[in-house]
Amino acid sequence: MTDTTNGVARPAPASDLYRAVWRWHFYAGLLVLPFLIALSLTGAAYLFHDEIDNWIHADLKRVETVGDGALAPSAILAAALGAQPGEAVKYTDPPRDDLSAEVTVRTGDGSNIAVHVDQYSGRVLGSLPDQGTVAWTIRRLHSLKILGQSPRMIIEMAAGWSVLLVATGIWLWWPRGQRGGVVSVRATPARRVFWRDLHAVTGIFVGGFIVFLAVTGLPWSSVLGGKVNQWANGSNFGYPSGVRIDVPMSGAYLDHVAKTSWTLEQAQIPRSPMPGHEGHGPAQGHEAHGQQIPIPDARPIGIDEVVAILDGLGLHRGYAVNLPAGPEGVFSGSVYPADLARQRVVHLDQYTGQPLIDVSYADYGPMGRALEWGINTHMGQTFGTANQIVLLAACLATVLLSVSAAVMWWKRRPAGRLGVPPMPLDRRVFVGLFVLLGIGGVVFPLTGISLAAMIALDLAWQAVARRRALPG
């Protein structure tokens, strides 16, 4: 960028570009810091979701181990329905010997209730609304799902702005001859330079984590995440279409009936062919080689047989079994443990128990595997306790980063004014900056829309300020 003072082309002062970047770093922080704090606190808590639920809901989840004396699943279902009348829609295998089984019951008013049953005695320990634990509440708060679909778009905008915030922050931090404030903090909390250094040093160490968490959280977003999911599934990069060959499919998706991985959210559920049709034998009155063929038994197999089949297939403990919905429904066994290699979804014909579709992590396409790894790591599961501790530190550092930014701004701002960083003297530096910001806006569509709105507001604000500065 150049200026033409006295008709001679010269590079624009470095301070002009610094001011422009600083101004947009300020705007990005103004928009995203409250969300970063909220997301960091709820995310830090959800890293320990199993520990939280097993502690807070110990009366529902904890049982006394009794060797190999676990009851049959059918007995556990019967006990749950005896305490909570309705229709059983899901059975969840106890994840460990000292934890209870869970039966999801649909009541007459259409709501789902999770009934916890002692797997050894059949005693009903209590119930909660389905996904009504403290950890599930934290998860809905983290995603803003608790507020509905539209507010969740804010998460996508915040993710894009977070990436821009880190990029501009690195540019502002970059050493330009100074020795302090690069990897060390100067002065004391009473002085603004302390908060400037604390903010800069914390930001340079945690910035990579912020970008990673923002990008790996995008698959859950309502706009970009949904589009990427459709593309991945439609292009055989996520759910492998090859397993659907010769299998009749329903119009339902796995996400409609069960908690599932991101990759399989839009995977279709197969249909159980009715006895006498589509592979189960001809209907009554048909003959083969002159002999009458009897109709196969039209009764579904029981939950005990289903669990025995899934155990035989080697599903990880703690899997959920969604029960068939209607005569063409299937038994859907699914489990998503911390070990990605053990993720599995198996759909069984409800009449024969034959696996119609059996999908594991190894069957996902390249994008599906990469995104599932990112999501699993985002949730603190890929590397065990170390994963949880590192991300907990990153979340707490992000809160510190946000708080130090607020304190630094408060100490710097003029009394009674917002304290927006000054405009560059050569305003043409904004052109290049807007191009770079625009590229980020294209990658993150909702961020791009909010970015365009912010640019329009900033230009309008500058025009008003210029008119006010005119004499007379």
My answer on whether 114 and 175 are in the same domain is: no
Q: Kindly state whether residues 260 and 323 are assigned to the same domain.
A: yes
Residues 151, 127 share a domain: no
40: in domain:
no
Averaging pLDDT over each range in 159-163, 194-198, 242-246, which range is the top one? 194-198
Structural domain containing residue 208: 15-31+145-220+387-469
Write out the E strands in 278-329. 287-288, 291-292, 320-322
Residues 399 and 305 occupy one common structural domain: no
Q: What is the mean pLDDT of residues 286-293?
A: 36
Say if residues 373 and 261 touch (Cβ distance below 8 Å). Answer: no
pLDDT at 422: 81
* Dihedral class, residue 267 (left if φ above 0, else alpha if ψ from -120 to 50, else beta): beta
| CB-count burial class (<10 Å; 0-12, 13-18, 19+) for 388 | middle
Mean pLDDT of the chain, nearest integer: 82
Same domain? For 179 and 324 the reply is: no
Q: Residue 67: which of 7, 30, 126, 120 has the closest Cα? A: 120
Within a domain: 5 = no
Q: Is 438 a member of any domain? A: yes
Q: Are residues 245 and 349 in the same domain?
A: yes
Identify whether residues 356 and 268 lie together within a single domain.
yes
In terms of Cα–Cα distance, which of 303, 290, 248, 286 is closest to 270?
248
Residue 445 lies in a domain: yes
The C-alpha atoms of residue 450 and residue 223 are separated, in whole angstroms, by 14
Each residue of 308-337: pLDDT tens digit? 999 999 999 999 999 998 888 999 999 999
8 Å CB contact between 297 and 305? no
List helix spans (H) across 111-187.
134-143, 153-173
Statement to judge: residues 178 and 278 lie in one domain: no
Determine the average pLDDT of the residues in 389-413: 95
Number of structural domains (the chain) is 3
Indicate whether 41 belongs to any domain. Answer: no
Predicted confidence band of residue 125 (pLDDT cuts 50, 70, 90): very high
Q: Taking 50 as the threshold, does the pLDDT of residue 36 lie above it?
A: yes
Q: How confident is residue 146, by pLDDT bands cut at 50, 70 and 90?
A: confident
The per-residue pLDDT for range 163-222, each reduced to its tens digit, is 889 999 999 999 887 777 889 999 889 898 999 999 999 999 999 999 999 989 877 766
Residue 106 sits in a domain of what CATH number?
3.10.450.40
CB atoms within 10 A of CB 288: 9
Answer yes or no: do 171 and 300 share one domain.
Answer: no
For residues 23 and 160, state if they share a domain.
yes
Question: Which residue, of 302, 332, 364, is where some domain finishes?
Answer: 364
pTM of this structure: 0.82
In a shared domain, residues 449 and 399: yes
Residue 27 sits in the same domain as residue 165: yes
